[in-house]
A and B are shown apart, each in its own frame.
Chain A
Amino acid sequence: MTQAGQRRTAAGKEGYVEVDGFRIRYWESSPPRAVGAVVMLEGMTWGLSTLRDALAQKYRVVALELPGFGASPANTRSQSVQELANTVAQAAAQVVPEKYTLIGTSFGANVALWQTLQAPNKVEALVLIAPIALRPAAGPLAGTLQETARRLLAHSEQARSLPSIDPAIVAKEQTLVQRLTGGGHDAEAEHRLGEIPCATLVLFGSEDKMVAPEAARLYRERIPNSNIAFVYDAGHLIEAERPEALINAVSDYVELRETFIVGRQTGIINP
């Protein structure tokens, strides 16, 4: 479990940690005077990094590549989301010793949810972006590249504007997600939502075709200190269609947590 060195990339410093036999890649970005730490777990984000870049203006941001995602080898060893979350929690602890805000997207949000349940003392606040853990009306998660792109977006005609991604990577990630989630509803996660001790924001695109809107209210009902947010005119991949709205909501929440509901914009037009 040693760091395997770092190199600087456009996405920040790139490094590796070894945990449970996985060599886990991460990117780290930070302003000179970071006001806190943010750990991001990225699942099926299609290489988008606008949120990460925006948060890195203020926070030390560490983005972890989930074993089996991106350029990492196929993950055939993790037997459950919980097990994967345990691995990721250890990796995060190595890179970020202090407490952090944890952000997960899509399947990454499922892992973040379980990571919070397993290491509650490390997570100051939790942000789940389009989590697929609770799917009371479960539809298919996997499909061809084209099918997946259509389901990810509210406006599938914009699929061409997505960053190009190797179909083999998509297939590898889908295989892992399907194996660990069964493509359905995580009843155990739902049962344990009440144990999440930290402030939690759950965001969905108003046109999410992968998760029914009924899921949002389950998080709000069960997690004691939680807020749910709908990002208008966005599908599952919110960051692709409404990046400004996503950044605005998440940035406010990371800074203000549950008090992000308090209006701070001035109404003065001409003082």
Chain B
Amino acid sequence: MKASYLGAMGYAQRYNFPTTWPIPPIYHDPETSVRSYQEGMEECEFAEEMGFEWVSFSEHHYSGRIATGTPAVMAAAVAERCKKAKIAMLGHLLTLNNPVRVAEELGLLDNLTNGRLVIGFLRGTPNEDQTYSVNPAEGRARLLEGMDLVIKALTEPQPFSWEGRYYQFRTVAVWPRPVQQPLPPMVVATRSDDMLQYAAEHKLGLAVSFVPVDQMAGVVKKYYAWCAEAGWQPTPDQIVYRGSIYLAETDKQAEAWLEGVKHAGPVPGGIAMRPTVSRAIQAARAGEEFDLRNILAGGVQGDVAGAARALNFMGGPDTVVKQIKAFHDQCGVGVVDLFFQQPRVSHREVMQEIELFGRAVLPHIKEF
């Protein structure tokens, strides 16, 4: 089993943020921000040094918690520091982006890293739909078409036109082509049946984020069945789990940290929106009617990110090894992608956790 470090590049003073999304840019201080990115890159470098085999990046917007709205830019910067680790784009929010531009970024990254790129496609949390005013009702169909277009753009050796439902490009000729032929490894981040089927039919890997182990096991079971139907079996590297982690020297220390966080007030890790907006997004995603008159406008509440706030791995090394092993044993996970930058954890503490993970956890999970 392999470990991946999520290069979240969180803003150092993120614990001062309100529990809302988006975070008003007024909270941004240039000096703190520059330092935060430097610290984030140090964490990636150190993770590689400690034995993490992947460093991952994820597109998120309008917030300093995961401050990589343009993940390819961040990946390119880190790739110059991390010379061995896979650079995993987990990934672009394809529904928001021009798929041809995404293909160009991926092609370039695979060249810059000399074939170390891993590609992930995902739709994003409901709030992300609002970033570029994409209709939430069209997100799934956009994602499906976008994946087809990215794959075609990365593999077709002649200029072509694309006559899609959501995208029409009369000249596509992506340059540079990927170093890894015919394609870099690809995973689809999803729990939805139609996307699982897409991944299985196209022989793509699977990534699941932040859900409990039994829930992931159910998702993986369906995915395996569809892969078998399509006549192939995923390798361990094609089953990726992304989880939040807090690692301490002992379980007792981890629990004490958690108690301290609880007593410090609301954990600023959610993605809360006005209920009217949140329900409108959810209704649009589900293809349902939404009547604003039935909902009173009010203060900010709700958390549209749901499971993303939960800590999936917490404790001392032995406990965390067992928790990760459960995902390996019950779900076939071969790569665990870890989000260390908890809301009230400083850069110094993250570095300590990475060191501890590399020393006391990684040697065990590599045996799985």
Contacts and interface: CB of A to CB of B under 8 A. Distances in A.
Nearest to A217: B158
Contact of B157 (A217, A227, A248, A260): A217
A232 B159 contact: no
Quick one: which of B152, B163, B168, B170 has the most chain A CB within 10 A?
B163
Given A260-B170, A261-B171, A263-B170, A229 B157 contact: no
Nearest to A265: B168
A206 B152 contact: yes
A195 interface: no
Contacts of A220: 158-160
Interface string A210-232: 00010011001100000111111
Contacts of A228: 158-161
A232 B161 contact: no
B162 interface: yes
A221 B156 CA distance: 12
B158 A230 contact: no
Quick one: which of B159, B168, B170, B171 has the most chain A CB within 10 A?
B170
Contacts of B152: 206, 230
A150 interface: no
Contacts of B170: 227, 229, 260-263
A243 B48 CA distance: 51
B218 interface: no
B214 interface: no
B145 A233 contact: yes
Interface residues of A, number: 23
Contacts of B163: 203, 229-232, 242, 245-246, 248-249
A233 B165 contact: yes
A267 to B, nearest CB: 13
A233 B144 CA distance: 10
Interface size class on chain B is 10 to 19
B363 interface: no
Interface string A245-268: 110110000000000111100000
Nearest to B162: A230
Nearest to B156: A217
Contacts of A229: 160-163, 170
Contacts of A233: 145, 148, 164-165
A249 B145 CA distance: 18
B72 interface: no
A231 B149 CA distance: 11
Given A217-B156, A232-B148, A233-B145, A227 B165 contact: no
B249 to A, nearest CB: 54
Nearest to A242: B163
A249 B170 CA distance: 9
A216 B158 contact: yes
Quick one: which of A216, A230, A233 has the most chain B CB within 10 A?
A230
22 contacts: A203-B163, A216-B156, A216-B160, A217-B157, A220-B160, A221-B158, A227-B159, A227-B170, A228-B158, A228-B159, A229-B161, A229-B162, A230-B163, A231-B163, A232-B164, A233-B164, A245-B165, A246-B163, A249-B161, A261-B161, A261-B171, A263-B170
Interface of A: 203, 206, 213, 216-217, 220-221, 227-233, 242, 245-246, 248-249, 260-263
Interface of B: 145, 148-149, 152, 156-165, 167-168, 170-171
Closest 8 CB pairs of A and B: A229-B161, A261-B170, A232-B164, A220-B158, A217-B158, A245-B163, A231-B163, A261-B171
